[in-house]
A and B are shown apart, each in its own frame.
Chain A
Amino acid sequence: MNAPEGDIDFSALFKPRNIAVVGASASSGGPANNFLRGLKRSGYAGDVFPVHPHAQSIEGFPAYRSINDIPCNVDYAYIAVAAQRTPAIFKGLSRRIVFAQVVSSGFSEVAGGLALEQQLVTACRQVGVRLLGPNCLGVHSPRGLISFVEGAPLEQGTIGVLSQSGGLSIDIIGRGHVRGLRFSAVVSLGNCADLGVPDLLQFLLDDPLTKVIGLYLEDVVEGRRFYDILRAGRARKPIVLLKGGRTKAGQRASSSHTGSLAQEDSIWVALSRQTGVVLVDTLDQLLDALLTFQFVSLHPERPTRRAVLFGNGGGAGVLACDAFSRAGIDIAPLSHDTITRLQQLKLPAGTSIENPVDTPGGVLRHEDGLLGVRVLHAIWDDPSVEVVVMHLNIPAIMNYANPLVVPNLVRGALDLQSQGGRSVHFVLVLRSDGNVDSGTEKAKYRELAREMGVPIFDEFHDAANALSALAAHETFLNSRMDTSAP
């Protein structure tokens, strides 16, 4: 039985009017109990129907004997019972279920589990249910106030994520939130037995709440459909892809050079070059790139290739130059006019007014940071600059204990950005020694940066990789500016 054709309306999954939960226990805990408690905690406003053979209520919600006993149709059924019992749930169903999500494992991901997975898919299709999973955590959806992570923050954001690993989707929500990412949706896809990567990718591309898309993929069964959606999308939203298993060796013997040179990695690089999807190598790179796209306005007319560095620490600046150069971002010399303007500021001794512009901490502290803003202004007007990277060493700033310095510097940069002059990106690198005190201070500045919409990174190579992702996306848009349809 084939999947139904046509566009899928996902509103019942991401903003369900009601939720049935099968597999919660009356006494002990489990994923379904956590999910129910999460609904209570998040303030989910729709009806919640736990299904249990004999319990009166579960986690404070009145329970029902079976799905057919629920007094209405169900938008979203969360199912966490033993794998063998899942197909039977859909047999003889008299209530309509729009989406069912099966948490249980023991399907095609284990040896001998494929037949059971096929039975489950057939059972769902016979009653017109679309299936998410099995072997997946489900959806984290701020718009619907639902999450598979109990107590996860549900502030509405603009980043949509699809993950073929449940564990990594938890990391993405948790680590991402701390780093300043705010999500429109995070979906753990599991085995993709019915709903697959292309279906949910199409949803995120069309979703008005989603501005940026992140993907963690291990394999795409419907590769061609996935590619065709991406190619047709022509990177109208930035998409960042972390593809697991790219280093895998070629799988078949080959009698031509072409065949033996066609490695797994070359296929994903091809996909990236043709669709504008940005490839990254690590989870942190994925998060840093998404953070960047969350905040910046894109400059396709002038892709980001040249940066000016400004901050404290000479050696740090030298290492930064190497990191940026490796990521394909030039630290270009400043123009004669810019250098003259910097000279006129009569900065204290110890300041280097070439790129990187290296200032001792005292200069940054001067006039609560306002002298530094004048430095930023001079840099901003340099014709070669496409991004200004401001780097600060937190322990050094803490020693001065002046809470105005960093906000003034950041605000100064944002004022320059909003003055409608030259379009220049602005990012922050806040380096730390790892001490608890520095960490607390850093978290404060991180939150400030997020409120002000500035991408912020731990180290130079993080910023360099994120800017390289930005540059790759802008360069793709630039290369396709004259061409219309695919």
Chain B
Amino acid sequence: MKPIITAAAVLALLVSSCARKDQGVVLNDWNFGGRPRLMEWLRTRVATFEAAHPGVHVVQSQKSWNMIREILYADFSAGTGPDIVNVHANYAAEFGGAGYYYPVNTFPDFEQVKRWYVPCMMEATRYGDNYYGLPSSAIAFVLVCNKELFDREGIAPPRTWSEFREAARRLTKDTDGDGVVDQYGLVLMGGDRGGFAYRLVPFFFKAGAAVMTDDMKHVTFNTPGGIAAVRLMADMYQVDHSVTPGFLAYTLTEVNDLFCSNRVAMSIEGPWFRGMVEDKSPGKKFYTVPVPVPDDRIGAADTAATLQDMVMYAINAHTAHPREAWELLKYLRNEEADMAWIREDLGATATTRAALASPEAAALDDLPLYVHEAAHARPWPSHPKMIAIAYDIFAPYAEKAIVGELSPEEAMDQASREAQELIEGKR
């Protein structure tokens, strides 16, 4: 009898030691990318949420933005993944459509929450009849101009393509007189296909060109406006030599280094760039202006679209705690929280009406421009194959056209043909 009792006691001890301590509700929150200040702010915000919601524990994880799709696909398709996650809003089509995101419009107070946000930003989280998240930060692509170089040359930031080309030409020069050009008008980011595509497409949109038809059945890289945008870059590279010759190898790191060291005068960037420049070269000034429009569209310059990228917070459709996840989502993205995007440089633009209308917002240099551009901006078409097309087809063909391996017409024709084959399942 004694051995049986001993064995039972040992077994009970083992079982009790293996049992998980009851932590109440545990929410996993994954954050992709972001500036250190944003991560710090998120930690503090989550700590106050936990204090206000006893019994809810939030586990935060920081992950690489570069691996976002791979990580999310792997986890969501395995039926796991975090309870809440920050992602590109244009993933609403791909992941929302596949049933991986929770339709937040099913929460009873959604209509009230929806009114916090600028309508076009809220709409970016919608796919079909459902909304799949709350806007986190808005990103409109603009032209940044190195103030020191522009002022030294006595020229104003360009508004049209011909002014843009002329400015780049004048700002390309041999500054130390050794016979070698050491300052260039424009830098592109060819070493990161996604980054390159995101910086070229604003020129398509400014020219009134779309990359897909509205019904998303046909790819239209080869419309006259698109071809003209590629030809502009090709001429600047091949004829004017005003684009950095090594751009095909550059990522954002090199772009920032070149900009901060006054080796380039212009780049296509977004709200994250100010913080990056400030970190590298404190006090450095630059002009932030809309991406130039073709000369014949100067009349529509105020409303010509640029590319919009939006980050949203989404809830995993398979979360065990949707109600708590929704509470956390609202707490991270309510009007009070959004003021952090105004008061601190978190690398993107606020998205709530209250924050954008606040007196503090009025005092920010770039904000009115970003808000204006975001109001007229367009995202990539919400087609599930769009990201693969942009990275793997559009970017390499556009690069071939810029360096002269193909003409802009040939490159965009081939890109359209291959992309069409991809969406029709022939590749």
* Interaction A to B: no
